[in-house]
Structures are given as C-alpha cells and as structure tokens.
Structure 1
Amino acid sequence: MRIVLAGAVTSTQATLNQLIKHKMDLVGVLGYEPKSLKNVSAYTLLKPIAEEESIPYKGFFNINDPDVVDQIKEWKPDLLFVVGLSQLVKDEIMNIPTKGVVGFHPTNLPRGRGRAPIAWSILNEKKGGANFFLIDSGVDSGPILGQKLFDIEEDDYAEDFELKMLDAISEALEEWFPKLKNGKIEYIEQEHSKATYYGRRAPNDGCINWSQTSKDIYKLIRASSRPHPGAFTFKEDVKIIIWKARIENNSNFAGVIGRVLEVDEDGVALVQTGEGLLSLIDYEIFDLSNNRLNKKLKVGQKLGYYSDIEIFKMKQELEKLKKY
C-alpha cells in the first residue's frame, strides 16, 4: 500500500509517527503551511520529521492547487490520509488514490460529525474518539477503518481531550496498521440513523455571558481553553482571557452577577454567575491594543458589558462631542 499523508496538526503528527513505526510504505508527506498561525490550533510542522526519515515532503497552502495535485499524482498513492485538515478535498484529488482517501475525526462517530469537534464534545458529549474512515460524499459519514473511544471527564479541558485523542490515535492505528500492511482493507459502516452534526465555532463564540450558570460557563471555559483561543470577558477597556476555572459549591459568598467577590493572594478571583460561583484560576488581561498587562482582578470589579449602561455612556460621550 503506497501511502501519502496530508495535514499539519498534532493528530497528523501522531498518525505520521505510527506510519513510520509500522514501516508503512509512506511515499510522501504534504504539510499545510499557513500564512498565519493565528487561527490554526495545535499546529505542527511536519517537514523536519519527513526530512529526518528521508520521506519526500511538499508544503502547501491550498491542497487543491494544481502543483499539489500533480505531486500527488506523481507519488501514485493507493491511500491518501487527510488528517487534521479543515480544507475540502476536491474530486480531482479524491480520484487519484487507487483505494480511497482516509479521513480522521475525534468524536464518537456517528455522533458529533462536522466542525469544531473538540469544543463541541466537551460542551455536549460524554465520549470522544479516534476515527479513521474512508471519505465519501457526506460529512464524516464514511465507513470506519479504525476506531478507539475514550471518556470525557467533567473536568477535562481541551488540552486534556487532545492528549486522550493522541493516545487513542496510537491505539487505533496499532490495531489497524498490521492488517493494512498485509493488504487488508476492512471497514464497518456507520449507523447513519444515529448521526448528529455540529456547526462551525469561531473565536468570538468564547465570549462569556455571566448570567448563565457556573456549570455552563465552566464548560465553555474548558471547551475554549488551550490550544483554542480561550473563553473571555471584558472589564471596561480590557479583555480577560480565562484559561482555567473551578466551580465553588461550598462558598458562603453571594453577590451581583458578574461581580468579583473575592481575590486571594495568588490572584484567583471568585465571581458570581447567574447560578452559582466560579473561581477564575488562570487568566490573562489585555489592553485595547492586545498588549498583555501584568495585572490581576480586584474585589468589586464587574465583568462583562451591559447594554443599557454602555448605551448611556455612549450618549454621554456624544453629548460632550456636540459641545465642541
């Protein structure tokens, strides 16, 4: 089986490591090389690994560009692995491998098909998974070639999910690759009647609404945390990105929603939510120019923007401008 691998994140690297470990016939690596890493979570440059193992490598920005298509044709793969790449592979590439194109998705398929699987899984699911499947015309709907599931614990953050996913990739490929190396391609059809789908998430979807329950806000923080851009809130002219938090069930504090009620010597801030209390353990504060400030939250500060107050402030500023 002549294999080509395409991608550029930690799941791609984990797959590459297993391909090398099992001495698969890896004839080429395509590494996504973005113009900016700002919106690419868990990016990994595959070129050094490919060069160290003397595997032909080609970088790309758009996998469907003619020069990339020509390179894939030249490598003549039986299987093309597309792992950790959000770009849609067009038919011209899909028709090149003689045995098909293999995709990857980290949910409990057929549940959780679609976009932003890590964040949505932490928000809504109890299990994640490492799934390798044959890509078809649907969304993550092709027959499963290898699958390993794992539990999502109530305190797992995105980085915890990712570590479990990487272990699951190794376990799934340890089971599947020996069969594949012997020329066997066995698969199991998904139960399409049980399929669920998730839509795209953007960085701004991490904005915290303090009127929600502490449980829901805690989920959002865990789902948005590293390697994602982070859940965030505001305080006047600063933005606060919250990486880690803790639900407080035994505190005797109560206060106004969004208000900081207590700050300890380490800067851990206790905040009132719409229902329950939340301690902000790890957070960063940035000014309007996105410069990180060496500050901690203070007791009495109120987090978030409130439309009535902000509109009144804008009216006051507008009235001042009219006088000039």
Structure 2
Amino acid sequence: MNVWILSATGTYLPAIERVVAAMPIAGLIGLAPGSPDDVVSGYFDYSDWCRERAIRHETVEKYALPPESNHARFAALDIDVLLVLGWQRLVPNWLIELCHGKVIGVHGSSAGITAGRGRSPLNWALMLRQSRFFVSLFFISPGIDDGPVIATRDFPLTLDDDIETAYWKMSITVGDLLATEQTWAALEPASAQSQGGSASYLPQRQPDDGMIDWNRDMEDIIAFVRALTRPYPGAFSMPDGGDKIRIWRARPFKLANVGTDLACGEVAERFADGRFLVRCANGFVLIDDHEAPAAMTAGTRLASANWVDQIAAIIDRHRSRYPSLPVTPELLAIAAPH
C-alpha cells in the first residue's frame, strides 16, 4: 500500500511518528518554507525530519493545493491512502478523486465530529471550559467534516491544559488510533460508519477575535488565554491609547477585600519581575507571560471587549459566508441577548 502523509504543522508530529513506527510510509507532502502561506500557526518544515528518516519529502507552494501546479505531480506519486495530519485547509476535490476516495482526515469537538464540524474545535473547547474532547478519523469528502467515520476516541481536557498540550493530547490519541490493525482493517469507505444526527458548525476564529473581556470571571479569562496562546496569535488587550499587549499565560489570583474599588481591566499591581495583576469580575488575573511595548504600571486601564458581542460578530461572519451551515447551539446560547 502506497501511503503518504500531508502535513504543514508540528502539532501532529507525535501522530506522524507513531504512524511511521507502525508501517511503511512512502513519503510526506509539506508546505514549502518561505511560501506565502507558511505563516500558518504552528508551521513546521519537515525537510530535515524526513531526511533523517530516509522518507521522501515533497513540498507545495500554496496551502489551497491548486490543481494547475499540483495535479500532475500528485498523480505521479500513485497514492493509495493519504493521511491528512495537520493541514488546516479543506482538501480539494481533485485530490480526493485522485486518491480514489481514500483521504483520511482528523476532526473532533467536545460534542463529537457531527455536532462540532468546522473550525478551531480545540480552541473553542478550551475557551468554553469543556472537560472532554472526542476526536475521529474519517474519510474526507467534498463537504466539511461530513465523511464516514473510521474510529473515534476521547481524551480529557483539564485546567492545566492550553492549546499546545491539547494538540499534543490529540496527536498522541490520533497516532495510537492509526497504529492499530483494526483501524487499517476498516480502511474501506463501505466499512466506515456514516455520520448521523443533526450537524452543527464551529465558526472560524480570526486574530482580532482575541481581545479579552475583563468583565468576565477570572476562570473564563484564563480559559480564553489558554485557548489562544502560542502557537496562535494570543489573547490581547490595550491600554488606553496604547498598542496591543499579547498575553500568553495567566492564572487566578485570589485575595479578599483588596482592590474592590478598582474597575475591571485596571492594573492593580506590578511586580518587580514585570508580572502584573488585572482586576476582573470576581477577583484578579495574574499575567505571568506577556509581550508589551512598555512596562505596565498600577492604575493603567486596559480596554475590554464584550464577550457576547464578540461571539455574535463571529456568528454573523460565519452566517454571511456559510448561510446553510448552522452554528453550534452552545455558541448561539452565548449570543442569545442579540
């Protein structure tokens, strides 16, 4: 069997290493370094990794895989099965047809593949403080995450997880699934299970959606930061009239009867090492890791987003682009005041 991997990010490296250890891999197709699209979050150049393992490495210049520059090359590879592990774009129909329908993808959500189709599922799961994530291997079809399911497994999300550790958990889980004989025995579309139930979709997030609402509880703010930390662009805020402050790591700071007169978003304290406290709805958030053009000082007011308005705007953007794809009920409930 001529098995190839399609990947552009390092988040799936644990899965890829498990696959390579379990079976012969003909080669890996990646995104060329220096291409206009290599700004993808978590981009990874697999050239050295493949060379060290004597695995053939092919690269493409564009994430969208236009047929004009790729069809003939891919046809010459004579791919039997294509494993899509860390390619954060839809696989074009011409490539699915070229592989005779045996293009295997990974998707999941805290509500499973059908109820959580769409974009940024792990980011949303962390942001909404979900405790489990269900990930599925499925046959990629021309639709969005709607192909027959080969296998499903779940893993826990804890308060210690951020987007990086959550991806590692998913990658290890996917790698273990792909390394089992049962999975490969089911690698016929007719053997897979069609998705049932009502489908709903998680909308795409953009970097500007990362502004913090300091009027929320500390637990919600910290979940928001954990969901958007590296390798993503990060949660952010801005002092009045100032530039963005990128916030990479934060935790609760509980102290009774202190700073009760401060406004939400106000810096309550700056410590000697540069860390600082920000007032929120039910206490303080300690900013452990951040990037700012200047040091924070006590009394600085940080601008605040409105969480409900933010979600409503994301939903509106999704509906304008995909009017026939219903948004997940949980996000609709958040935006209900609109």
Q: Is the aligned partner of 1:270 residue 2:277? A: yes
Alignment partner, residue 330 of structure 2:
none
Alignment partner, residue 309 of structure 2:
none
Which deviates the most, 200-209 or 52-61? 52-61
Alignment partner, residue 283 of structure 1:
290
Alignment partner, residue 27 of structure 2:
28
Closer, same or farther in 2 for the Cα pair 1:146/1:23, shift >3 Å? same
Q: Is the aligned partner of 1:55 residue 2:60? A: no
Letter of the 1:93 counterpart = L
Matched residue of 2:244: which SS? Answer: strand
Q: Could you list the runs of 5+ residues in structure 2 that have no partner in the other structure?
A: 306-338
Q: Is the aligned partner of 1:83 residue 2:48? A: no
CA contact (8 A) 2:12 2:171 kept: no
Closer, same or farther in 2 for the Cα pair 1:274/1:101, shift >3 Å? same
Alignment partner, residue 321 of structure 1:
none
Q: Is the aligned partner of 1:257 residue 2:259? A: no
Query: How far apart, in 1, do the equivalents of 2:101 and 2:2 lie?
Result: 10
Closer, same or farther in 2 for the Cα pair 1:94/1:42, shift >3 Å? same
Q: How does 1:226-237 map to 2 (within 5 A)?
A: 226-235=230-239, 236-237=241-242
Q: Is the aligned partner of 1:167 residue 2:169? A: no
CA deviation map 1:62-104 (0-9, x unaligned) = 3233332212211212212222212322222111113521111
CA contact (8 A) 1:11 1:169 kept: no
Alignment partner, residue 311 of structure 2:
none
TM-score (norm 1): 0.81
1:183, CA displacement in angstroms? Answer: 8.0
1:116, CA displacement in angstroms? Answer: 1.3
Query: How far apart, in 1, do the equivalents of 2:133 and 2:5 lie?
Result: 23
Closer, same or farther in 2 for the Cα pair 1:218/1:12, shift >3 Å? closer
Alignment partner, residue 210 of structure 1:
214
CA deviation map 1:131-150 (0-9, x unaligned) = 22101233212222233211
Identify which of 64, 71, 88 aligns with 1:69.
71
Q: Is the aligned partner of 1:138 residue 2:140? A: no
Alignment partner, residue 203 of structure 2:
199
Alignment partner, residue 328 of structure 2:
none
Closer, same or farther in 2 for the Cα pair 1:73/1:37, shift >3 Å? closer
Letter of the 1:51 counterpart = R
Matched residue of 2:27: which SS? Answer: strand
Matched residue of 2:147: which SS? Answer: coil
TM-score (norm 2): 0.78
The structure, 1 or 2, with the larger RCO (C-alpha pairs under 8 Å, 6+ apart) is 2
1:39, CA displacement in angstroms? Answer: 4.1
Matched residue of 1:218: which SS? Answer: helix
Closer, same or farther in 2 for the Cα pair 1:160/1:173, shift >3 Å? same
Identify which of 195, 199, 219 aligns with 1:190.
195
CA contact (8 A) 2:178 2:184 kept: no
CA contact (8 A) 1:136 1:142 kept: yes
Identify which of 134, 152, 155 aligns with 2:157.
152
1:275, CA displacement in angstroms? Answer: 3.9
Closer, same or farther in 2 for the Cα pair 1:35/1:160, shift >3 Å? same
Matched residue of 2:26: which SS? Answer: strand
1:161, CA displacement in angstroms? Answer: 0.9
Closer, same or farther in 2 for the Cα pair 1:203/1:161, shift >3 Å? same
1:36, CA displacement in angstroms? Answer: 4.9
Structure with the bigger percentage of strand: 1
Closer, same or farther in 2 for the Cα pair 1:12/1:64, shift >3 Å? farther
1:106, CA displacement in angstroms? Answer: 4.4
Query: How far apart, in 1, do the equivalents of 2:153 and 2:224 lie?
Result: 25
Query: How far apart, in 2, do the equivalents of 1:56 and 1:268 lie?
Result: 46
Letter of the 1:266 counterpart = D
CA contact (8 A) 2:150 2:183 kept: no
Q: Could you list the runs of 5+ residues in structure 1 that have no partner in the other structure?
A: 287-292, 307-324
Query: How far apart, in 1, do the equivalents of 2:186 and 2:228 lie?
Result: 41
Closer, same or farther in 2 for the Cα pair 1:302/1:90, shift >3 Å? same
CA contact (8 A) 1:28 1:75 kept: no
1:257, CA displacement in angstroms? Answer: 1.8
Alignment partner, residue 248 of structure 2:
243
What is the CA RMSD across the aligned residues, in angstroms?
Answer: 2.4
Based on CA coordinates, which of the two structures has the bigger radius of gyration?
Answer: 1
Which deviates the most, 49-58 or 239-248? 49-58
